[in-house]
Structures are given as C-alpha cells and as structure tokens.
Amino acid sequence: MSQWPGITRWRSWLKGCLMLLLLGGAPASAGGEDPYPEFVADYDVRVNGIKVGNATFSLSHLERDEYLYRSEATKAGLGRLLGSDKATESSRWRLADNAVQVLEYQAYNKDGDDDDNAHLVFHWDSLEVENRGAGEHWRIAMPEGTLDKMVMQLAMLFDLRDGKTAFRYPVATRGRIKEYRFERAGEETTELPFGNYRTVRLQRTDDERDQSWVWSAPELEYFPVRFVKHKQSGLKTEILLRRLEFNPGGTEPGS
C-alpha cells in the first residue's frame, strides 16, 4: 500500500488500529462487582492527517451478569469514497473467577472480507472456539484465557489498572490463535478536545513490519484516548478520543 490513493478498503486499516485499544496466557483480572463503569466514547479517525471517519465504543451491563462491548465505525469526509458506510463489532462476555471470559464475538461489514463478518462462539466446557459466520466455518482448540479482538481492548485496560507493564493476549482470529504483545513505553501529556491528560503509552512488540501505540489516561480509569499506527509504506492512522461519557445519562468526564 502506498499513500492515500492506494487505499481500497477503509475497514482494513481501521480494524488494525481499533484492535490496539488496539488491545500472558491468563484472562485479565477485574476487581469488584462491576469490572468497569458503563460508557459511551466517540473517536475521530484520521489517515495522514485527513479525517476519514468516526468510531463509537460502548460498554453495557446485560442480564445474568454479562456485558456487551460494542463498536461502530462510520465514514466521514474523504472516507465516504471507501467501501460501506458502517462497520460494527461486538463482544459479549462475563466475569468468571474474577476474570474476563468472552462468550460470543460478532462483526459485520457489507464490503468486508470473511474476517470482517465473523461470528465466533467460545465453548469453555471443551476449550474450543468456532466460527459460524462468513466464509469457511471452523472449530479449533483454544488455551485458557483466549480472547476476541474486541474484548482484548478491555483486558489491556484492566491490566493497566492492575499495574502491569507487559501484556500478552491469545486471540482467536482467522481460524487460529494469535498472540498479541505490548509493553509500557513511558508517560506523556496528551491533548484532547476537552483538556490535557497525563497518559501511559504502550507499544505493540509482536509486529515486525508496522509500529503501533496506544495512550491510556489514569485519570479516566485508564481509558484509551489515542491510537497511532505507522505502516512501512508511510501511511499513518490516528484515532483520537473526542467525547467520553461514563454511566451514560450521568457524569460526562469529556463532553
């Protein structure tokens, strides 16, 4: 991929950056009855400085002590020239032995590939995960603590809150278990539309071709506020938090 004219599908690069939230073999621990407050967060998405889309993430508490983590990406500006107008992902999970245990992952993108339209079901009794979505259906063995690429983001947030500095996550994707690795790379001040915040910067360490970082703000419950991905081609994708509302309808730390 060269520069802007060479982009054929916006979902391919956007998905890579969202996985950083981009976020050991054991599931992430979470203390208390609710591992994290419900929230709605809006992000701006830019490629080489040009705004091409928006992304909204939300966490809600379901019945039977289950939780739903969901994202919706929509195009804006020049991004409207690329593929479908909307792409969604969701992860349904629960706490088991005070740890995150994913139950079901679903993705939908009309113009996406099979991975963009996956439907994963996690069978913890047999330690297997299967794809019931688009493309070839598969069922494979998984280690304890296996995550999907959505709930990995929350796992990283919980681990940061617990004081960890190195992170390893087995993730079910494309018919295999892939390990993602990150490490803490320092602290700095990050400017957001609603104020400046001290942030912890994490760097992905398992990708030999591209460079990826995520910034999390301790003052905002270690919420991820910025993501950057530099590809070898020179393409730079940045996702920056624009608005954050904890306990929707109540407090708004970033309105």
Give the count of domains, the chain. 1
Task: Answer yes or no: is 254 within a domain.
Answer: no
- Note the pLDDT of residue 77: 54
Task: Answer yes or no: is 253 within a domain.
Answer: no
Identify whether the C-beta of residue 102 lies closer than 8 Å to the C-beta of residue 96: no
State both tokens at 39: 């929230």
Identify whether the C-beta of residue 182 lies closer than 8 Å to the C-beta of residue 204: yes
Looking up residue 36, the CATH number of its domain turns out to be: 2.40.360
CA-to-CA distance for 70 and 107, rounded, in angstroms?
10
Task: Answer yes or no: is 252 within a domain.
Answer: no
Task: Answer yes or no: is 34 within a domain.
Answer: yes
User: What 3 state SS string does the chain have?
Assistant: CCCHHHCCCHHHHHHHHHCCCCCCCCCCECCCCCCCCCEEEEEEEEECCEEEEEEEEEEEECCCCEEEEEEEEEECHHHHHCCCCEEEEEEEEEEECCEEEEEEEEEECCCCCHHHHCEEEEECCCCEEEECCCCCCEEEECCCCCECCCHHHHHHHHHHHCCCCEEEEEEEECCEEEEEEEEEEEEEEEEECCEEEEEEEEEECCCCCCEEEEEEEHHHCCEEEEEEEECCCCCEEEEEEEEEEECCCCCCCEC
- Put residue 48 in one of left, alpha, beta given phi > 0 → left and psi -120 to 50 → alpha: left
Task: Answer yes or no: is 153 within a domain.
Answer: yes
- Note the pLDDT of residue 23: 38
Residue 127 phi/psi, 5-degree rounding, is: 55, 55
CA-to-CA distance for 59 and 82, rounded, in angstroms?
28
pTM of this prediction? 0.83
In tens digits, what is the pLDDT along the chain, a chain of 255 residues? Answer: 333 333 334 444 444 444 444 433 334 444 446 788 999 999 999 999 999 999 999 999 998 889 999 999 998 755 444 555 789 999 999 988 877 899 999 999 988 888 889 999 999 999 999 999 988 999 999 999 999 999 998 999 999 999 999 999 999 999 999 999 999 999 999 999 999 999 999 999 999 899 999 999 999 999 999 999 999 999 999 999 999 999 876 544 554
CA-to-CA distance for 69 and 214, rounded, in angstroms?
18
Range(s) of the domain holding residue 35 = 4-246
Task: Answer yes or no: is 255 within a domain.
Answer: no
**Residue 81: is it exposed, middle or buried by C-beta count within 10 angstroms (0-12/13-18/19+)?**
exposed
- Length of the chain equals 255
Task: Answer yes or no: is 92 within a domain.
Answer: yes
